[in-house]
Homo-oligomer: A and B are copies of this chain.
Amino acid sequence: MEFHYPNGKKFKPATTVEKTKKTKAKDFTYSNRGMTLEEDLNETNKYYLQSEIAVIHKKPTPVQIVNVDYPKRSAAVIKEAYFKQASTTDYNGVYKGKYIDFEAKETRFKTSFPLNNFHKHQIEHIKQVLNQNGIAFVILRFSSIEEVYFLEGKHLLSLWNRMEEGGRKSITISEVQEYGHRILLGFRPRIDYIKIIDKLYNLS
């Protein structure tokens, strides 16, 4: 199935609903390059895996399954299920023996990054990982200005604490620039966050 919208854009049937949601979001945030942050990170992780640089995967979306059909001679069909809130961050894996853990979020705002992009569970998880000497961080994208930053978990935690103590509910772009590390987009890998890890933790 293929037809053209009045604006000349092709319609492509989405293979999954998640896909559909991303495609919609893309129209607002990431139109120039046609890739979402998640797609860029998946490509990056694939590159790391194939080049034997690191083994990092995105966790599956957690789903509460309620009802499944088992038709004869074909695959089981889930007929009723609900999205569950994740209890951890989305990405984790191993690099040079070290545990790596991160969450990736984007905003359309230009001057600040709202902290409500994160759930309390995720903040708690980042704290637990840091207590175990794991490497935890977030990747923040300001999609309207095309800037991507690596922000260490410890900084996110203290900015979150500031909010909990009654302070501002977002991180200003100048704070992101001061505490974080800009990642310039590349071809392969697209978002080279391992380079930042090497620098910060002396692993190279």
Contacts and interface: CB of A to CB of B under 8 A. Distances in A.
A96 B17 contact: no
A76 B66 contact: no
Contacts of A88: 57
Interface size range of chain A in the complex: 35 or more
A83 B79 CA distance: 12
Contacts of A83: 75-76, 78
- How many copies are assembled? 2
Interface stretch (A97-105, A169-177, A182-190): A97-105
Contact of A63 (B61, B79, B87, B132): B61
A197 interface: no
Contacts of A23: none
Nearest to A99: B94
A42 to B, nearest CB: 12
A59 interface: yes
Given A55-B132, A61-B60, A66 B16 contact: yes
B62 A94 contact: no
A200 to B, nearest CB: 14
